[in-house]
Amino acid sequence: MTPSPITPAELEILSTKATAAKATAYCPYSKFRVGACILTEQGEYITGANVENASFPVGTCAERVAFGTAVVSGHKDFKALAVATDIKPPASPCGMCRQFIREFTTPSFPVYMYDVDGNYVVKTMEELLPDSFGPDNLPPSS
């Protein structure tokens, strides 16, 4: 399903919430704050931030926290994702997050990436993860 277009008002809220979510990051090791916010097709906003761990590889990115929260809350249809960091140019989702997001989105799903000044770059999932592997590639018995 193609996500419905995001309105300017929705994008404003999405960016504000993603930027505010940076303050909830637990990142004592990297000190690299990442905030994320998803807009669902039902008009709900679900945030996440990175959560690190003393055993470094155990830490989780903001995007996966946000999508995990959304999915266990019963959401299935998503309109857009915003990710905010304190750097510029803006950071884009890591490879593991791209695959994680791909599970729940379509190729045209937009990912808005905000830099420290509030400027953004937007790319679709198809651009971020071309030739991807997803649920439809598994045989029915899996």
What is the b/e burial string over 83-116, where b = at least 16 CB atoms within 10 angstroms of the residue's CB? bbbeeeebbebeeebbebbbebbeeebbbbbbbe
Which of 63, 103, 126, 127 is the catalytic position? 63
Residue 27 near ligand THU by CB under 6 A: yes
Q: How far is the CB of 108 from ligand THU (least distance, A)?
A: 20
Q: Is 30 in the site for ligand THU (CB under 6 A)?
A: yes
Of the chain, the end-to-end C-alpha distance in Å amounts to 22
The site that binds ligand THU (CB under 6 A) totals a number of residues, namely 14
The yes-or-no answer on residue 63 being catalytic is: yes
Query: Of the listed pieces 28-36, 74-82, 102-110, 117-125, which binds ligand THU according to CB under 6 A?
Result: 28-36
User: Binder to ligand THU among 52, 66, 84, 90 (CB under 6 A)?
Assistant: 52
Distances (CA, A) of 113 to 66, 99, 127: 15, 17, 13
